[in-house]
Amino acid sequence: MTIPFFDGHNDTLLRLLEREGKDKVAPFVDGWPKAHIDLPRAKAAGMAGGFFAMFPPPLASTLKEVASPTGVLDRPMPPELALADAQRPTFGMAAILFQLERAGALAVCRTAADIRAAMDAERLAAIFHIEGAEAIDTDFQSFEVLYAAGLRSLGITWSRANAFGTGVPFRHNVDPDIGPGLSEAGKELVRLCDRSGVMVDLSHLNAAGFRDVAAISTKPLVATHSNVHAISPSARNLTDWQLAAIAESGGVVGLNFAAGFLRPDGKMLPDTSIEVMVRHVDGLVERLGEDGVALGSDFDGATMPAPIRDVTGVPRLLDALLAKGYGEALVRKIALENWIGVIGRTMG
Ligand code: ZN
């Protein structure tokens, strides 16, 4: 039995952008063993779709350097990124997304109904997501352009500061309550997203910014790829008051598979069990209820537990939940329906 799943976060577009060579489409369509996700393996595993992140990497650095170190993460935040330096890679990743759509590999979805239609057509359903709003100017002109292109989900910050807010560093044994809240432009961005039906993603945002979004937004609160701070005390994970606020809003959290955000010791090591992933799912279900928990792998952006390895490992996690006594209906919610539900409540 293959259970279809929808994933809250991947960095596959950046992997494709940073790949040597002009053709960024064929590796995804034909198969690319070095990546965590490609089309043949996604289909074999039952991946229905996911949030395809456009993450502008720090200058003079690669995704590997910023997101896949070994050992305990203890890194300061990188410096702010200028508008043009964020827009160039963002447009590059958006171009790859639409080239993939034209090649028939996926469908860029703007509503929950679009996702169902893509599934019926056996296309991967992709949500256009930017991770950090650095590519958006504070007059919001580029917001209009990105929205018209298909943008429907936006993280205000990655793990750095920008014109709108401040992210959390990759640090362990600390609280995410680090740094100031949203700027006036950041608060305006939240209102604009609410009006436009663009999901605001709280993953990577600091606690003060989280409080501002919770106070302003009328939509369900969502963290696409974060875990339980009480189990793994990373600044990237959600404390109990944050999870309570998400629960109260009818929101959703996607389980992040990155080893360092799962393990109590914060080590980014593949020697990480599925059992610790199940512990986080238990913790999320306990705090958010059965409608509030989903998947947010961080594929192609983080060190995966060895038993998961890549997209083909997701069924092993779902099997582990079934073996733990989760009913099939609940596993199907966590795998797929909870994302489609909150996307419907946010985007339409
Ligand atoms: Zn991330």
Q: What is the pLDDT of residues 274-313, one digit of tens each?
A: 999 999 999 999 999 999 999 999 999 999 999 999 999 9
SS3 for 128?
A: strand
CA of 201 to the centre of ligand 1 (A): 10
CA of 344 to the centre of ligand 1 (A): 23
Give the chain's domains with CATH numbers: 5-346 (3.20.20.140)
CA distance 22 to 80: 29
pLDDT exceeding 90 applies to what percent of the chain? 91
CA distance 315 to 335: 10
CA of 255 to the centre of ligand 1 (A): 12
Q: Which of 3, 6, 85, 100 is nearest to 295 (CA)?
A: 6
Are 29 and 124 in contact, with CB atoms under 8 Å apart? no
CA of 299 to the centre of ligand 1 (A): 10
For position 68, what pLDDT does the model report?
44
CA of 325 to the centre of ligand 1 (A): 30
CA distance 66 to 184: 29
CA of 225 to the centre of ligand 1 (A): 7
CA distance 234 to 212: 21
Structure tokens at 195: 């009006």
CA of 275 to the centre of ligand 1 (A): 22
pLDDT tens sequence across 68-107 = 444 566 677 788 899 999 999 999 999 999 999 999 999 9
Q: Which residues pair with 295 in a beta bridge?
A: 7, 255
CA of 116 to the centre of ligand 1 (A): 26
Q: How far is CA 313 from CA 37, 41, 243, in A?
A: 11, 10, 27
pTM value surpassing 0.75: yes
For position 61, what pLDDT does the model report?
55
pLDDT tens sequence across 18-75 = 998 889 999 999 999 999 999 999 999 999 999 999 999 887 654 444 544 445 666 7
CA of 256 to the centre of ligand 1 (A): 9
Are 45 and 314 in contact, with CB atoms under 8 Å apart? yes
CA of 284 to the centre of ligand 1 (A): 18
Residue 345 sits at the vertex; the CA angle it makes with 343 and 348, to the nearest 5 degrees, is 75
Q: How far is CA 278 from CA 6, 127, 228, 257, 324, in A?
A: 18, 26, 11, 11, 8
CA of 1 to the centre of ligand 1 (A): 30
